[in-house]
Structure formats: C-alpha cells, structure tokens
Structure 1
Amino acid sequence: MKKVTVFLLLVSIQFGFSQSTTDFFSKADVFFKTYVANGKVKYKEIKKDPASLEALIDMAAGIKVSKSKVSTYQAFYINAYNLAVIKGIVDNYPTKSPLNVKGFFDKTTYTLGGVKTTLNDLENKILRKNFPNEARFHFVLVCAGLGCPPIINTAYKPSTLEAQLQRQTVKALNNSSFIKVKGNKVQISQIFEWYKEDFTRNGSEVDFINKFRKEKIPAKAKVSYYTYNWNLNQI
C-alpha cells in the first residue's frame, strides 16, 4: 500500500510540474500576443491593466524547473526575463529608458523559479553560466532598449525553442540596422563587445556572425561597435 501511495504522490508531483509549466507558457503566449507588436511593447496599455502581467510573474515565482530538462529550463527563463523586464518598466512607467530606472538590471529583484534574482543574475548566472555555448540567448533576451533585437509576440516554448532561437538569431544578424556593412568595414552591436567571450569561443565575431548570414562578411573586415540605443522599445 505504501508503494502505491508513494507512486501516486510522485505522479501527482510530476503532473503538477507539467501542468504549471504548460499553463505558464500558454498564458505567457497570450500576454505577448496581446501586448507586443512589431518588436515593441504596449507599456501604456499594460500600465492601465497590469493584472495579467502580475499573474504571470506570480506564477513564475512558484514554478520549479530542472536544468536536466534543458529546453523547458531555457524557455522558462527566457520568458521570465522578458516578462520581468516589462514589469520593471511598467512599475516605473512613464520612463524613456531602462537606464533611467536606478538599479534596473542589478538591484531590483524578482522571484522566478523559486529564486530571488536580478535581471543581470538571471542572464549571467542562470542562463549564460549554465549554458556557456549558447550565444543565441543574446538575440532573445530583450532589455527594453531599441538596441536589443526585437521582442517577439509569442512565448518561447520547449517544443519550439530551437527553431525560435535560430530564427531570431538569423533575423538579427541579417538585419542591416543591426549589422552595418559598408565594403570592408562592419559596425556591430555593443552586445558583441560586452559579451565577446560568448561569440569568440570558436573563432572571431565575424566567424560567428557569418554562420547565420546570407551575405557573408569578409573575413578580414574591419570591425567596430556602434553605440547602443537605450531608448525604450515602446509602441
């Protein structure tokens, strides 16, 4: 009898885990579809009615995800990061830039996955540290500035994560506003300067970029970084 009870308990725990993450991804998808368009966020609308955002943040606080379930773990924290950024802006709206909010990235904390974290720690300790070879994170984590690759109007989900990571990276690195090529000179985002180690593990920054570009950048191109645009990505 005890064995049956323990088995049922384990099944219920696993079912609850599955249901909670599935529900989170589903509701996050509805939220992004409602409040994101053309790579920008409807902060003003969310400020007027923040209930769905607050519910998602509360839900994310109680969900536990295991690193062993890689796609679920990554998808959960990518969505959690983007939602926390939106909450940080909404809590201080109106503002013209996340940099106008003191401690936006390194002081303000959010409880996500049962752990209290800042945006910086979520990006650097929860995602980058655990998955050091996944540089595509930089094209899906959106920091509320126009210099970021655009936020998408759907949630990242375990079943579609690989395709979404690939699509957003290809989209960014083929965007002439993000990678500015003029002959043998190329200007690239400061993202590549700040996180250089992520992009140069197996070659140069140009080598990394060319893996995703249709029109390849010359191997000996002169690379420089253009100034990051921290103006708010708002509609």
Structure 2
Amino acid sequence: MVDLTTWDGLLRTYVDADGRVDYRSWLTREPTILADWLAQQSCETKGHQDHLAHWINLYNAFTIQAVLSRYPIDSIRPKLLGLPNWIGFLRFFQQPVHRLGSQLISLAQIENRMLREQSKDPRIHFAIVCASLGCPLLRCEAYTPERVEQQLEDDLMRFVNNPQKVRLDAEAGILHCSKIFQWYKADFLAASPSIPAYILPQLQGATDLKTELRLAYLPYDWSLNQRMSS
C-alpha cells in the first residue's frame, strides 16, 4: 500500500479549507519533498478504491509540482503579448513530462485513461484539480482507499452547493453551472438522463423543483488557486 503520510502532511500544511495553496511557503520551506515522494510512486493499484485514490492523488500532486516548478505565476493559462498562450496551456496538460516509475505520463493521460475510462465515475471531476479557481476545491488531505467513496461524495456535494459553481434561478427557470458540466457532458449523461437531473438531487432546496430548466454556463476562472503567505 502507498504511504500517503508525506502527501497528506503537505496538503494539511499548505492548503486551506477553501482549496487555496500557499505555493510560496511550500517552495521556500520544502522545495523537494513532493518530487521525492512522487519519485517513489508507481502505476500499480489493488482494487477499485485503491485505483481511484491513487490516481486522483497523483493528478493533484503532479499539478502542484508543475505549478511549483513555474512559480510565481498568476495562472496555468499563460499569456503571450496579452493574449492566452494556448500552446503553453495545452502543454501543461498534454505533455508527458511527469515521471512515474520508468515511464513519462501527462495529466491528460491520468485524467482520461486512468480515471475517466477506467472508473466511469463522473465524481472524479470534483476531485482532480488543475490549480485554477474555477476548479473544484483542492482537499487539504489525501484521498485514501478506505475513504475515497465518501470523499468523492463529499466533493460532489461541496461543488454543487458552492454558488460560484452552481446557482439555481428557479423563477427564471435557469440553472447556472460550471463549464465542467459542459466539457464533460458525456460523463454526466452516462450517469443521469440530463445535467439538471444529475445536479438537482444534490442541490440543497431544489429536490422538489418541477419546472424544466435551461442551462447557462458560468465563466471559468483560470486564476491560480493560491493564497499568499502571511
């Protein structure tokens, strides 16, 4: 079984309850400990819960390591001459630069092959974090095989009931929601007949809503999920 003590300790030290990361202190105080921990990891898992916890932890850890290697930055979506640098942005996710045992892997491979394809669980979209404020809140603890099902359920509830991610205007018949529901629509529709049908049972105060809703997707905030050292 993977020793999560180091990863869990780093999250508890440098991530607050709002998912903001103190990258500056992390980089100053413990610049190599995350890389050392990642160097000990492998692709091997045992069972469904272990698989989920392992790859969610690795996705988030590699993302933080990528930010630390570039810090200070304001966003993972860099700008070139005042415009979004889409090549740099895509490389952040698509380039296989993260070493795992003897192979190199990308964030996109972890997300799509190891999590989306193998788990078929749309709740992973509320757990993996790309270091932006538009993402789900980064947990200040590691995912564990023993608790990952409850952690994912908590992540789903926390995301849906965060007004920055989901807002219901019942009078106007509009469900405002994160673009995550648009980008990964197929994953949610595999688990539910519609996006509102997926969201509403989890949304506090909305379970008895009868009217048909129109979807409106909220702007996505690509600002770095950082908090400044005190």
Q: TM-score range by the shorter chain?
A: 0.7 to 0.9
Count of matched residue positions in the alignment of Structure 1 and Structure 2 = 210
Deviation of 1:212 (Å): 1.7
* Partner residue of 1:163 out of 142, 145, 150: 150
Deviation of 1:161 (Å): 0.5
Q: 1:155 is matched by which residue type in structure 2?
A: A
**Pairing of 1:199-218 with structure 2 (within 5 A):** 199-201=188-190, 202-216=192-206, 218=209
Aligned to 2:8: 29
Where 1:227 maps in the other structure, the secondary structure is coil
* Partner residue of 2:226 out of 220, 225, 234: 234
Deviation of 1:113 (Å): 6.0
Deviation of 1:117 (Å): 1.1
Instruction: Note the residue ranges of structure 2 that are not aligned, 5 or more in a row.
Output: 79-84
TM-score, scaled relative to structure 2: 0.86
TM-score, scaled relative to structure 1: 0.84
In structure 2, C-alpha distance between the alignment counterparts of 1:165 and 1:42, rounded to whole Å? 24
Q: 1:45 is matched by which residue type in structure 2?
A: S
In structure 2, C-alpha distance between the alignment counterparts of 1:150 and 1:92, rounded to whole Å? 21
Aligned to 1:122: 110
**Pairing of 1:23-172 with structure 2 (within 5 A):** 23=3, 25-38=4-17, 39-48=19-28, 49-60=30-41, 63-66=42-45, 69-100=47-78, 102=88, 103-112=91-100, 115-132=103-120, 134-172=121-159
Deviation of 1:65 (Å): 1.8
Where 1:40 maps in the other structure, the secondary structure is coil
In structure 1, C-alpha distance between the alignment counterparts of 2:201 and 2:47, rounded to whole Å? 27
Q: 2:31 is matched by which residue type in structure 1?
A: P
Instruction: Note the residue ranges of structure 1 that are not aligned, 5 or more in a row.
Output: 1-17
In structure 2, C-alpha distance between the alignment counterparts of 1:205 and 1:64, rounded to whole Å? 33
Deviation of 1:59 (Å): 1.6
| Structure with the bigger percentage of helix | 1
Q: 1:197 is matched by which residue type in structure 2?
A: A
Where 2:167 maps in the other structure, the secondary structure is strand
1:164-210 superposed Cα distances (whole Å, 9 cap, x missing partner): 00001111101122102222112110101110001112310001112
User: RMSD of the alignment, in Å?
Assistant: 1.6
Aligned to 1:194: 183
Residues 80, 112 of structure 1: 8 Å contact kept: no
Where 1:65 maps in the other structure, the secondary structure is coil
In structure 2, C-alpha distance between the alignment counterparts of 1:113 and 1:148, rounded to whole Å? 28
Q: 2:185 is matched by which residue type in structure 1?
A: K
Moved more, 199-208 or 103-112: 103-112
Work out the percentage of aligned pairs sharing the same amino acid: 30
1:34-74 superposed Cα distances (whole Å, 9 cap, x missing partner): 111121111111222312211122122xx3423x5111111
